[in-house]
């Protein structure tokens, strides 16, 4: 029945309902410690197919109000893949098909009318959210070298990354799994961030920040 849905809203409802049933069933199974039966596992496979259809760009484009899937929509799809341990597929979707807030083609929220008219959320996934999930899935998939690189990238590439202690912890945890001179690799990242912070502080103390702000106001 679900496969006949052409309305994106109903597809998302079906995926959410199936995943709730799956989580509930897994909770009961975990208490009794039997293996997960095939009919319960089938819920995630059905949900995956429905979520892929719902996030399909051609189907989504028919919705003039919400032409692109939101962050919550994409997370539903990723959740169905994670439940099946399909980490490479999840990474592939995150790297190639998931739209984020920095995508120029994504519809912006202009006023309250957009929010009222939309079916579901309009909020797009942040690039940092996407990159965090990619790093996490690399680790879960046993690709610790890629996970280490991703966490190091999060520290270096995002303004608040160098202040997120959990990033350093996860980078170190991944680096330990890789082995080799992992302490040196992690120390190099930390030293790079310290030098960057020292440079930023020196710039502020020298008055460079104030001069740049005055120039911006003058140009405006």
Q: Which tens digit of pLDDT belongs to each residue from 74-103? A: 888 898 899 889 999 999 999 988 888 887
12 and 37 share one domain: yes
Look at residue 85 and tell me if it is in a domain.
yes
- Out of 17-26, 106-115, 211-220, pick the least confident: 211-220
In eight-state DSSP terms, residue 108 is: P
Q: Which residue has the higher pLDDT, 49 or 197?
A: 49
Look at residue 65 and tell me if it is in a domain.
yes
173 and 77 share one domain: no
Look at residue 132 and tell me if it is in a domain.
no
pLDDT range class, residue 67, cuts 50, 70, 90: low
Look at residue 131 and tell me if it is in a domain.
no
Q: How far is CA 187 from the centre of its chain?
A: 27
Task: Locate 212 and state its tokens.
Answer: 């740049």
Residues 6+ apart with CB under 8 A from 141: 87, 88, 91
Domain that includes residue 7, residue range: 1-125
For the cut 50, the answer to whether the pLDDT of residue 217 exceeds it is: no
94 and 164 share one domain: no
For the cut 90, the answer to whether the pLDDT of residue 148 exceeds it is: yes
- The answer to whether 116 touches 124, Cβ cutoff 8 Å, is no
183 and 100 share one domain: no
Give the residue from 76, 92, 125 where a domain finishes: 125
List the Cα angle 10/12/13 in 5-degree steps: 60
Look at residue 133 and tell me if it is in a domain.
no
For the cut 80, the answer to whether the pLDDT of residue 119 exceeds it is: no
52 and 142 share one domain: no
86 and 195 share one domain: no
Give the residue from 125, 147, 178 where a domain finishes: 125
Give the residue from 103, 125, 147 where a domain finishes: 125
Give the pLDDT confidence score for residue 66 in this predicted structure.
52
Q: Say how far apart CA 92 and CA 25 lie, in whole Å.
A: 28
pTM attached to this predicted model:
0.74
149 and 85 share one domain: no
Q: Which residue has the higher pLDDT, 85 or 53?
A: 85
Secondary structure of residue 32 in the 3-state scheme: helix
Domain count, the chain: 2
Question: Model confidence over 155-208: pLDDT tens digits?
Answer: 988 877 678 889 999 999 999 999 888 889 888 988 888 887 766 555 454 555
């Amino acid at each position: 029945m679900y496969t006949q849905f052409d309305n994106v809203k109903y597809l998302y409802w079906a995926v959410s309902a199936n995943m709730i049933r799956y989580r509930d069933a897994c909770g009961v199974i975990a208490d009794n410690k039997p293996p997960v039966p095939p009919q319960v596992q089938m819920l995630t496979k059905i949900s995956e197919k429905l979520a892929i259809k719902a996030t399909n760009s051609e189907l989504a484009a028919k919705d003039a109000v919400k032409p692109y899937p939101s962050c919550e929509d994409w997370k539903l799809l990723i959740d169905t893949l994670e439940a099946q341990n399909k980490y490479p597929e999840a990474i592939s979707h995150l790297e190639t098909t998931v739209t984020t807030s920095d995508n120029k083609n994504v519809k912006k929220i202009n006023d309250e009318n957009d929010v009222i008219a939309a079916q579901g959320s309009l909020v797009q996934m942040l690039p940092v959210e996407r990159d965090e999930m990619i790093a996490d899935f690399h680790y879960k998939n046993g690709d610790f070298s890629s996970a280490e690189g991703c966490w190091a990238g999060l520290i270096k590439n995002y303004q608040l990354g160098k202040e997120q202690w959990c990033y350093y912890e996860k980078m170190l945890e991944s680096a330990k799994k890789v082995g080799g001179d992992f302490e040196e690799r992690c120390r190099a990242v930390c030293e790079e961030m310290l030098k960057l912070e020292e440079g930023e502080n020196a710039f502020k103390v020298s008055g460079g920040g104030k001069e740049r702000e005055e120039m911006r106001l003058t140009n405006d």
